[in-house]
Amino acid sequence: MATPRLLEIRQGVLSKNDRLAAELRNRFTDSGVFVVNLLSSPGAGKTRLLEETMRRMRQHDLRVAALVGDLATDNDARRLARSGAPVRQIQTGDMCHLEAHLIERYLEGWNLNDFDVLFIENVGNLVCPTGYDLGEAARAVLLSVTEGEDKPLKYPGAFISADCVVVTKVDLAEAVEFDMRAAEANIDSVHPGVPLLYTSARTGAGLDDWIAWLDARRRQAVAETSSRG
* Statement: residue 6 has pLDDT above 60: no
Residues near 28 by beta carbon (within 8 Å), at least 6 away in sequence = 34, 35, 112, 118, 135, 137
Task: Pinpoint the alpha helices (H) of 32-146.
Answer: 46-59, 75-81, 100-106
Q: Summarize pLDDT for 114-173 with one digit per residue, the tens.
A: 999 999 999 999 999 999 999 999 999 999 999 999 999 999 999 999 999 999 999 999
Identity of residue 181: R
Q: In the chain, what are the domains?
A: 29-228 (3.40.50.300)
Question: Residues, the chain, total?
Answer: 229
pLDDT score of 11 more than 80: no
44/124 Cα distance (integer angstroms): 8
pTM assigned to the model: 0.93
Instruction: List pLDDT tens digits, range 206-229.
Output: 999 999 999 999 999 988 887 776
96: region left, alpha or beta (phi > 0 left; psi from -120 to 50 alpha): alpha
Mean pLDDT over all residues of the chain?
Answer: 94
Which pLDDT belongs to residue 81? 94
The pLDDT of residue 9 is above 70: no
What is each CA distance from 223 to 33, 116, 141, in whole angstroms? 13, 14, 25
Residue 144, CA distances (Å) to 45, 147, 193, 199 in order: 7, 5, 19, 9
For the stretch 55-66, pLDDT in tens is: 999 999 999 999
